[in-house]
Amino acid sequence: MTAIGNVSIRDTILQRGRSRERSRLLVFNHVVLLALTAFAVIPLVVVAFNSVKTNLEIGQNPLGPPVNVVVENFPNAWDKGNFATTMSNSIIYVVATIAAELVFGGLAAYALARKKPPGSDLLMLYFLVASTIPLWMYIVPLFVQINFLKVKIGVDARILLIMVYVATRAPLSIFLLRSYMIDLPTELEDAARVDGANELQVMTRIVFPLTKPGFLTVGLVVGLGVWNEFLLALTFIHDPNQYPVTTSFYKFVDRFDRDWALTSAGAIIIIFPVMVLFLSLQRQFIEGLAEGGVKL
Partner 1 sequence: MAVLTQKKPMTIAEKFNDESWRRKFLNNVLIPWIFIAPLLIIHLYVVAVPAVQGIYMSLTDWKGVGMNVNFVGLENYRELFFEDETFGKALSNNILWMAFFLTVPFILALFCATMLSQVRRGGMIYRSILFVPYVLASVVTATIWKNLLNPQRGVGAAVDNILGLEGVFGVAYLGRTETALMSIAFIDNWQFWGFLMILFLAAMQSIPPVLYDAAKIDGANRWQEFRHVTLPGIRPILVFMFMMVAIFSFLAFDYIFLLTQGGPGGASEVIATQLYKNAFFRFQAGYGAAQGVVISIFAGFIILIFVTVKRRGWDI
**38 to 67, contacts with partner 1 by CB under 8 A?**
39-41, 43-44, 46-47, 50, 58-59, 62-63
Q: Is 136 in the site for partner 1 (CB under 8 A)?
A: yes
Distance between CA atoms of residues 259 and 280, nearest Å: 32
Query: Which CB, 148 or 191, lies closer to partner 1?
Result: 148
Which residue type does 89 have? Answer: N
* Residues contacting partner 1: total by CB under 8 A: 92
Give backbone dihedrals phi and psi of 251, rounded to 5 degrees, phi first: -70, -35
Q: Which residues, other chains included, contact 146 with Cβ-Cβ below 8 Å and sequence gap of 6+? A: 157, 160, 164, 236
What Cα–Cα distance (Å) separates residue 91 from each residue in 125, 152, 158, 276, 279? 33, 27, 12, 15, 19
- The stretch near partner 1 (CB under 8 A) out of 65-73, 79-87, 210-218, 271-279 is 271-279
Q: Is 107 in the site for partner 1 (CB under 8 A)?
A: yes
Q: Is 271 in the site for partner 1 (CB under 8 A)?
A: yes
Half-sphere exposure of 120 (CA within 13 A, CB side): 14
Which residue type does 123 have? Answer: L
Residue of the chain from 1, 3, 122, 137 that contacts partner 1 (CB under 8 A): 137
Q: How far is the CB of 279 from partner 1 (least distance, A)?
A: 8
Q: Is 211 in the site for partner 1 (CB under 8 A)?
A: no
- Buried residues in 209-229 as b, exposed as e (16+ CB within 10 A): ebbeebbebbbbbbbbbbbeb
Q: How far is the CB of 122 from partner 1 (least distance, A)?
A: 11
Distance of CA 166 to the CA centre of its chain: 14
Q: Is 155 in the site for partner 1 (CB under 8 A)?
A: no
Half-sphere exposure of 264 (CA within 13 A, CB side): 24
Site for partner 1 in 217-236 (CB under 8 A): 224, 227-228, 230-231, 235
Residue of the chain from 92, 95, 99, 123 that contacts partner 1 (CB under 8 A): 123
Rg (CA), the chain: 26
Residue of the chain from 4, 140, 153, 194 that contacts partner 1 (CB under 8 A): 140
Query: Which CB, 79 or 230, lies closer to partner 1?
Result: 230
Would you say how long the chain is, in residues?
A: 296
User: ∠ CA(262), CA(267), CA(271), 5° rounding?
Assistant: 150
Q: How far is the CB of 1 from partner 1 (least distance, A)?
A: 21
- The stretch near partner 1 (CB under 8 A) out of 91-99, 122-130, 183-191, 208-216 is 122-130
Residue of the chain from 18, 20, 24, 255 that contacts partner 1 (CB under 8 A): 18
Q: Is 286 in the site for partner 1 (CB under 8 A)?
A: yes
Is the C-alpha dihedral spanning 56, 59, 65, 71 positive or negative? positive
Q: How far is the CB of 292 from partner 1 (least distance, A)?
A: 10
- The stretch near partner 1 (CB under 8 A) out of 36-44, 69-77, 179-187, 209-217 is 36-44
Distance of CA 75 to the CA centre of its chain: 27
